[in-house]
Chains A and B, each alone.
Chain A
Amino acid sequence: MKNLHVVFISLMLLALSPLAAGGKPEQVTTPSNTLAWVENSLDNGLPGVNPLKVSGNIITAGSSTVYPLSERMAERFIEEGYSGSITIDSIGSGAGFERFTVAGETDISNASRPIKDKEIESAKTIGRVPLEFRVGTDALAVVVSKQNTFVKNLTKQELAKVFSTAKTWSEVNPAWPNEPILRFIPGTDSGTFDYFSEEIFKSNPEPLLSASNLQLSEDDNILVQGIKGSPYGIGFFGYAYYAENTASLNILDIEGIEASAANVDNGTYPLARPLFLYSDATIMRSKPQVAAFIDFYLSYVNEEIVGVGYFPAHEEALKKGQALWLEAMKGLY
């Protein structure tokens, strides 16, 4: 009987021991309204952020497109000293808005499309007023596998055909092989999906979703993997996922225009779209770590965005976000 007790206790201790082995436990939350992290103003007018003095938790969720960018900014925030916890769930812009505006589960919503009026209404019912912060631009990448040598460019019309009614490549262009088109697209919760159906199908997703050989996933990695291994596959997702896999994917020009930084900047690339963070003033004020993170994000995103694989937003767009931030945090520091 005593042996039993000993074994029980040692098992429980074994289970708990790694906690003692060090690591990064969350710091105790200091009382809410300390803005100890505020420093001298930066060039952009926002207060500087000292991540060492930020603690607490930040809960974010949303777009899988924005995910690599937010992940990079979160990592940098931690590298520079943030000791609290930050979680990012990559579940699709729509699902992210759901958590933000209906369930009230997140502090920041990542999105690759603007918030819909319906979602703003839902937010109102739980007492939130979404603030929009533009953080970057994505050039939606339409990609095929490296083994696909016959397609280099698609017009918008061809794009519509490829992703809806055409069963084989030769139906779109007789010069192409008579092989079935295998499609890999983001799932219906994804902002990328919404954007594509808006741009190419005038907001009617039915032809897109009725296409044959269709695979959907909110996880862009699954799409990359699928296209990589399918010589007759095609799909689309955020540019960063293409940039990470240039060795195995080919990107197509749209209407003859290449997806390059210049073309995104001057607005000629037809599938350039904005990337956003959404939050709410009440959250920012009651959880200053959220405000700190957004400040940090807005101030340093242009240093990191190219490395992640996206394109910087225009100055005016960033400035709008900065103004909103200052407005939300007025009088607190």
Chain B
Amino acid sequence: MHERSLHPFGKRKRIHERIIETILFLFAMLSILITVSIAFILIKESYLFFSDPDVRLLDFLTGKKWQPMIGLFGFLPLLNATLTTSLIAMVVGIPLGLFVAIYLSEYASDRIRGILKPTLEVLAGIPTIVYGYFALTFMTPLLRSVFGEANVEIYNTASAGLVIGILVLPMIATMAEDAIGAVPQELRLASYALGGTRIETTFEVVIPASLSGLSATFLLALSRAIGETMIVALASGAGPKLTANPFEAAETITGYIVRISGGDVSYNSIDYNSIFALGLILFIITFTLNLTSRKISSLFHQEYD
């Protein structure tokens, strides 16, 4: 048919468009490339790590001491410290964040909300190094004066955990508030019509309705806490230790990675490979949490009209 040659924009324009589309597609594929590269590099270096004769997978997963230079590759101390700080952070961040979110969405007047929301956004935008500084110069001395200098070491996981909790608080509050706000007003009104008080409505209607969004928030916050580096690097110490006492110094996975890479180790030495192995574990943990959070939020998502 002759429409193509008569078409005012002609074939040339079409190719021009195609080229642009291809370029944009390549840009989008770059994101896949990044993920693949991360996975590839982590896996490759981890393979080098695990294939070293000194390293046995079982010892890695169950060993209680981490000291690569003398062949001790037990990963539990690092994992334990990471979990301790993250747990403390969640104990602080989740209740407070949730309560702030409830306050903002159910109780606060528009004016107060107008002041508080930007304040939370400011808190969320403060770089983590500032929180690290805060942990070292304020939180640790505070803990030492409250619990006694003999009981709280100068580097400890409690201080780092508490400050990570403060770090994730705005994130939890904002995301939870979005989730709670998404619950349609009709549900609340129905509850009031049945005679429920505001608090009963909140706990028995609104929260269950927004549960998917809330769980997604908590999982993302946990993932954030686990991946946090600078606060633990400054405040929780430089020695891997398996301990249940949060007032003792214990190095986390991220703290170890930063310490070793800051010191710069030989290419292909066991230390260098170990940071990638640990990076891989970190990646797997946070990836799983993020994926689960996304799945939960879509799986349990309630469509209200």
Contacts and interface: CB of A to CB of B under 8 A. Distances in A.
A98 B264 contact: yes
Contact of A222 (B69, B144, B238, B264): B238
A131 B69 CA distance: 28
A91 B259 CA distance: 10
B249 interface: yes
A215 B239 contact: yes
Contacts of B271: 188
Contact of B249 (A98, A206, A215): A215
Given A215-B239, A216-B238, A225 B154 contact: yes
Contacts of B263: 91-92, 95, 187, 189, 218
A102 interface: yes
A210 interface: yes
Contacts of B69: 188, 205, 209
Contact of B259 (A89, A214, A217, A225): A217
B70 A230 contact: no
Interface in A230-244: 230-231
B150 interface: yes
B149 A95 contact: no
Contacts of A206: 70
A59 interface: no
A274 interface: no
A99 B249 CA distance: 31
Nearest to B140: A229
A246 interface: no
B239 A209 contact: no
Contact of A102 (B149, B150, B241, B266): B266
A69 interface: no
Interface of chain B: mostly helix, strand, loop or mixed = loop
A98 B266 contact: yes
A215 B264 contact: no
Contacts of B72: 209-210
A114 interface: no
A229 B267 contact: no
B238 A103 contact: no
B70 A209 contact: yes
Contacts of A229: 144, 149, 153-154
Contact of B264 (A91, A216, A217, A228): A91
Interface in B188-245: 237-239, 241
Contacts of A209: 67, 69-70, 72
A61 B262 CA distance: 12
A290 interface: no
Nearest to A105: B264
B235 to A, nearest CB: 11
Given A215-B249, A216-B238, A189 B70 contact: no
A226 interface: yes
B49 interface: no
A89 B262 CA distance: 10
Contacts of B70: 205-206, 209-210
B265 A215 contact: no
Contacts of A226: 154-155, 237, 249
Given A91-B262, A188-B69, A205-B70, A182 B238 contact: no
A215 B155 CA distance: 10
A182 B247 CA distance: 13
A10 interface: no
A263 interface: no
A126 B254 CA distance: 34
B154 to A, nearest CB: 3
A215 B238 contact: yes
Interface in B130-178: 144, 149-150, 153-155
B224 to A, nearest CB: 25
Contacts of B262: 91, 218-219
Contacts of A215: 155, 237-239, 249
Contacts of B154: 225-226, 228-230
8 contacts: A92-B263, A102-B266, A187-B238, A215-B237, A215-B239, A225-B155, A226-B155, A229-B144
3 nearest A-B pairs in the assembled complex, by CB-CB distance: A229-B154, A215-B239, A217-B238
Interface of A: 61, 89, 91-92, 95, 98-99, 102-103, 182, 187-189, 205-206, 209-210, 213-219, 222, 225-226, 228-231
Given A206-B70, A217-B259, 11 more contacts: A89-B264, A91-B262, A95-B265, A102-B267, A103-B267, A182-B153, A187-B263, A189-B265, A210-B65, A214-B239, A218-B263
